[in-house]
Amino acid sequence: MNARARAHVWLSGRVQGVGFRFATADEARYRGLAGWVRNLDSGRVEAVFEGPRSRVEEMLRWAREGPPGSYVRDVRVDWDEPPEQLQSFEIRHTGLD
């Protein structure tokens, strides 16, 4: 059984100004994941991926590389329990960190 999982992720490197949020949203939707992505004032990107654990892990592998033009230097992942049961994937406004 592929249990539902939720990964809260922070990515640093060249992850802003390269279409990272839009590519992340496209990839997450393609995988049928719910969650969100946003830029942070610090220059990092924050995201939440929620869905079947195997698909969340696929998304994390993609995020470690990012879209063309990006360079992901560091990835921090917190596995949150329980999942919030989000229904869609959205791009959020820039937040503080």
Active site residues: 21, 39
What is the DSSP code string of the chain?
Answer: ---EEEEEEEEEEE-SSSSHHHHHHHHHHHTT-EEEEEEBTTS-EEEEEEEEHHHHHHHHHHHHH-STT-EEEEEEEEE-SS-----SEEEPPPB--
